[in-house]
Chain A
Amino acid sequence: QKEVEQNSGPLSVPEGAIASLNCTYSDRGSQSFFWYRQYSGKSPELIMSIYSNGDKEDGRFTAQLNKASQYVSLLIRDSQPSDSATYLCAVGSNTVKLIFGSGTRLQVFP
């Protein structure tokens, strides 16, 4: 079992719709959770971080964390073609390092 799992996609949504990206993790001791956006050939860019159960909103992005279910998600409202990218989920179980999922490719079509 992979430590951090994501559906590879592609997830295709129409412009203006809500895109829902999901991630599960295996280490119950995990404490920090991040979503990175990565455009093709570019470096990962941190877009959201969440540390406690519940929702955290930042603009069009909402991160949701459920530690009991070992599940973290990212919602993108009013999706735009410019949101088309690969989204990486990363989980930290201590202050040492992050474990990354292999990413979900999102396609937003006009």
Chain B
Amino acid sequence: DADVTQTPRNRITKTGKRIMLECSQTKGHDRMYWYRQDPGLGLRLIYYSFDVKDINKGEISDGYSVSRQAQAKFSLSLESAIPNQTALYFCATSDLSGGVYNEQFFGPGTRLTVL
């Protein structure tokens, strides 16, 4: 079974619609992240969370919101989707155990298209 799962894997929606992307993990990691990837721009951080009570904005948080429902679940919402939010979205997790830090493990991604 995959350690980090994302649903849905593909989604086509229309401008103005609200959409939620979900991420679940069984790795037991405290930290979770949402990234978007656009061709030529690499991975850009949207939001990150260190635990259920801690939510932080990344470099491109405008137009997005998140919810950390449990240690294992971190959801990303687009309140009113717009076409330039069309991208590949990844969830990632990490922890600080064993002296290794910042290693992040990625989910399979969600391909979102906003028409």
Chain A contacts for B106, CB-based, 8 A? 43-45
**With A100-B42, A102-B41 as contacts: A92 and B102 at CB distance below 8 Å:** yes
Chain B contacts for A92, CB-based, 8 A? 101-102
Closest Cβ–Cβ distance, residue A84 to chain B (whole Å): 17
Verify B41–A43 contact, CB threshold 8 A: no
Which residue of chain A is the closest to B6 with respect to CB atoms? A43
Chain A contacts for B96, CB-based, 8 A? 95
Chain A contacts for B100, CB-based, 8 A? 49
Chain A interface residue count, Cβ-Cβ cutoff 8 angstroms = 22
**With A32-B102, A34-B102 as contacts: A88 and B42 at CB distance below 8 Å:** yes
Chain B interface residue count, Cβ-Cβ cutoff 8 angstroms = 22
Q: Can you list 24 A-B contacts (CB < 8 A)?
A: A32-B103, A41-B111, A42-B108, A42-B109, A43-B90, A43-B106, A43-B108, A46-B103, A46-B104, A46-B105, A88-B42, A88-B43, A90-B104, A95-B96, A95-B102, A96-B48, A97-B33, A97-B45, A97-B58, A98-B104, A100-B42, A100-B43, A101-B42, A102-B40
